[in-house]
Amino acid sequence: MRYSLYLIIYLFSFESISQNKINWFELDSNTKISNNGKKIIIDLYTDWCGWCKVMDRNTFTDDDVINLINDKFIPVKFDAEYKEEVVFNNNNFKFVKAGRRGINELAYHLTNGNLSYPMTIFLDENYNLITLLPGYHKPNFYLKVLDYIGNDHWKSMTWDEYLK
């Protein structure tokens, strides 16, 4: 079922202070993302994914991870098996039944068909793919990735150069 009324998400800049949670937006049939010039980070998950739950529990509760995500990105959660139609970046994506479950076409589109859970998807301000980060990652490594992308180091140096 597709709704004609969308929830417009307006984000206001605010001073980054210690926050206790990531301000996730759950992407569903009622959500329209307005990125206000920020990069987008998408946590692609499924309900049955154990490592997705570990990522939520261990990485996404780290204060430094929380602050960097809330400061530099529009944080979005998306269930890869969401059963309703979704509009994202002015395109419609439907659920496709396959086997015992199925997949929402958006998950397939965002990952270029490289489905893996959990999957972190980084998009630039124009909704272009920056990179995919598959799998579970501990906070220390994840912070490096967030800094590399969030502070635009990826535009001027390779990952290996950044790590030196």
What is the domain count for the chain? 1
How many Å apart are CA 4 and CA 52, to the nearest integer? 31
Q: Does residue 10 sit within a domain?
A: no
pLDDT at 26: 84
pLDDT at 51: 97
Q: Does residue 96 sit within a domain?
A: yes
Beta bridge mates, 7: 31
Q: What is the CATH number of the domain that holds 57?
A: 3.40.30.10
Q: What is the pLDDT of residues 113-132, one digit of tens each?
A: 999 999 999 999 999 999 99
Which of residues 10 and 49 earns the better pLDDT score?
49
DSSP code, position 55: I
pLDDT at 31: 65
How many Å apart are CA 80 and CA 107, to the nearest integer? 5
Output the pTM of the full model.
Answer: 0.84
How many Å apart are CA 51 and CA 40, to the nearest integer? 22
DSSP code, position 58: I
Q: Single out the residue of 77, 70, 59, 34 nearest to residue 150, CA to CA.
A: 70
Q: Does residue 3 sit within a domain?
A: no
How many Å apart are CA 144 and CA 62, to the nearest integer? 13
pLDDT at 88: 87
Q: Does the structure show a pLDDT above 60 at 18?
A: no
* Strands 95-98 and 25-26, bridge-based pairing: unpaired
Query: By residue range, what is the domain housing residue 43?
Result: 19-163
Return all residues near 33 (Cβ < 8 A) that are at least 6 apart: 9, 25, 27, 40, 74, 76, 88
Which of residues 137 and 99 earns the better pLDDT score?
137
Ranges 11-15, 20-24, 96-100, 127-131: which has the least confidence: 11-15
